[in-house]
Amino acid sequence: MHKQIEKIKSNEGKPKVLKNIFSEQEIEKFLNLYNELPVTVHNKKQNVIKKRWLSEFGHELEKIFYDRLKNEIGDFKYDNLKTENGNDILGLFQESYNPIGLHIDGGFNFDDLIYKQSLIPLTPKGSTIIFKNRYYGKSTNFTTDKNELEKKNLKYGQNIRSSEHIGKYGNKPFDEETHKKYLKHEKIENLIGLEVELIYTWEVGSMLIFDRTNLHCSSSIIDGKKIGLTTFTKK
What CATH number should be reported for the domain holding residue 41?
2.60.120.590
| Percent of the chain whose pLDDT exceeds 70 | 97
pLDDT tens, residue by residue, 89-111: 899 999 998 899 999 999 998 89
Q: What is the mean pLDDT of residues 42-68?
A: 86
**pLDDT at residue number 45:** 59
Tens digits of residue pLDDT in 22-31: 999 999 999 9
pTM of the model: 0.92
Round to whole Å and give the CA distance between 78 and 233. Answer: 5
First vs last Cα of the chain: how many Å apart? 17
Q: What is the mean pLDDT of residues 179-197?
A: 96
How would residue 84 be classed by pLDDT, with cut points 50, 70 and 90?
confident
Q: What is the pLDDT of residue 156?
A: 66
Measured N-to-C along each axis, helices 24-36 and 59-73 cross at an angle, to the nearest 10 degrees, of 120
8 A C-beta contact, residue 104 and residue 162: no
Residue range 115-139, pLDDT digits in tens: 999 999 999 989 999 999 999 999 9
**Which residues make beta-bridge pairs with 170?**
167
What type of residue is 87? Answer: N
Number of structural domains found in the chain: 1
Neighbours of 209 (CB within 10 A): 19
Range of the structural domain that residue 87 is part of: 5-234
